[in-house]
């Protein structure tokens, strides 16, 4: 596994403190972050495991296009057991921002987190240097304050995925945030909290191997043309579709008392109409563009 892949996975055991490295090649049939994450969960997490059990795992994984500049390739896939679905199914959350690209630039296709720390910790990853650091002084802080503290200790280029008090207190719907990007939909923040893991900080200085850069650029240009010309009337970048589009009385959002009037005003606003008219592309390079 060469071009697009780093060929390396880091495994971090919070119970023992052991950090080890593995070859990505055994997952070559499972292309992409989602495939790697589900395969690890299938192979390594016993049936009947609960989300907050020590045996549960969190897998941060990216695909071969991540960090290459390809449109819509900016997200990291986070796989674990759901904290709120019936039967605690294996699920995946997706997080935007620079975290995925920094993972790849640091040299990793996936980060496997297992076990449970005895006290609050955070994980530092800077290229080949991976360590588990004490986080007692961060516990209780929000995601923004946590990010600022870790960046002071590392660098402004560090990308930090952190949980706040909700994750620490195992709120089932809690998520991780890096910058203003969140890992919604799976309760991954609560799983981090159950492992006493406050944050993961990643910074990389490496690149991504591309076999044919000229052809890659041609394909990127083609994809961007297709995205810009696509019908994006039902998507408003960086915002919940619900508040921008679902203004009908039958909407699951407007059914809530007090929401209908406010949502209708937003849906009819000049800003939303402008975004619909110009048909903004959904994503490009390491981060998704947004005008709002």
Which domains are assigned to the chain? 8-203 (3.60.9.10), 213-278 (no CATH)
- Contact present, 23 and 8 (Cβ < 8 Å): yes
Q: What is the mean pLDDT of the chain?
A: 81
pLDDT of 242 > 90? The answer is no
Percent of the chain with pLDDT over 70: 75
- Contact present, 110 and 24 (Cβ < 8 Å): yes
- Contact present, 256 and 243 (Cβ < 8 Å): no
Local confidence band at 237 (pLDDT 50, 70, 90 cut-offs): very low
Local confidence band at 273 (pLDDT 50, 70, 90 cut-offs): low
Local confidence band at 269 (pLDDT 50, 70, 90 cut-offs): low
- Contact present, 8 and 104 (Cβ < 8 Å): no
Segments of the chain assigned E as strands: 8-13, 19-23, 58-61, 76-81, 90-95, 110-114, 121-126, 129-134, 159-162, 177-178, 181-182, 197-203
pLDDT for 28: 87
> What average pLDDT does this structure show over 146-150?
95
pLDDT for 266: 47
pLDDT of 287 > 50? The answer is no
How are strands ordered across the β-sheet holding 177-178?
129-134, 121-126, 197-203, 159-162, 177-178, 181-182
Closest by CA to 56, choosing from 46, 70, 67, 69, is 46
pLDDT for 189: 93
> What average pLDDT does this structure show over 78-97?
88
Task: Give the predicted TM-score (pTM) of the model.
Answer: 0.77
């Amino acid at each position: 596994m060469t071009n697009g892949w780093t060929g390396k996975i880091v495994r971090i055991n919070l119970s023992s403190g052991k950090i080890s490295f593995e070859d990505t090649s055994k997952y070559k049939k499972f292309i992409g972050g989602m495939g790697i994450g589900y395969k690890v969960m299938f192979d390594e997490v016993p049936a009947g495991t609960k989300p907050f059990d020590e045996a549960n795992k969190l897998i941060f994984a990216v695909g071969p296009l991540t960090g290459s500049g390809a449109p819509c390739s900016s997200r990291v896939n986070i796989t674990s057991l759901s904290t709120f679905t019936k039967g605690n199914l294996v699920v995946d959350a997706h997080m935007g921002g620079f975290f995925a690209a920094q993972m790849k630039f640091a040299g990793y296709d996936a980060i496997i987190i297992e076990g449970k720390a005895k006290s609050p910790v955070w994980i530092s990853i800077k290229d080949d240097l991976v360590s588990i650091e004490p986080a007692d002084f961060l516990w209780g802080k929000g995601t923004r304050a946590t990010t600022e503290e870790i960046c002071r200790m590392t660098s402004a280029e560090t990308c930090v995925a952190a949980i706040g008090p909700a994750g620490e207190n195992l709120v089932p719907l809690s998520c991780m945030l890096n910058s203003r990007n969140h890992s919604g939909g799976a309760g991954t923040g609560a799983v981090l909290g159950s492992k006493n893991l406050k944050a993961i900080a990643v910074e990389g200085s490496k690149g991504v191997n591309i076999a044919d850069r000229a052809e890659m650029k041609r394909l990127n240009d083609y994809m961007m043309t297709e995205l810009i010309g696509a019908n994006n009337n039902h998507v408003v970048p960086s915002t919940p579709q619900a508040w921008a589009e679902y203004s009908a009385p039958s909407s699951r959002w407007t059914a809530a008392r007090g929401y209908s009037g406010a949502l209708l005003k937003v849906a009819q606003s000049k800003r939303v109409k402008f975004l619909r008219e110009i048909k903004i592309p959904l994503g490009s390079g390491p981060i998704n563009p947004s005008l709002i």
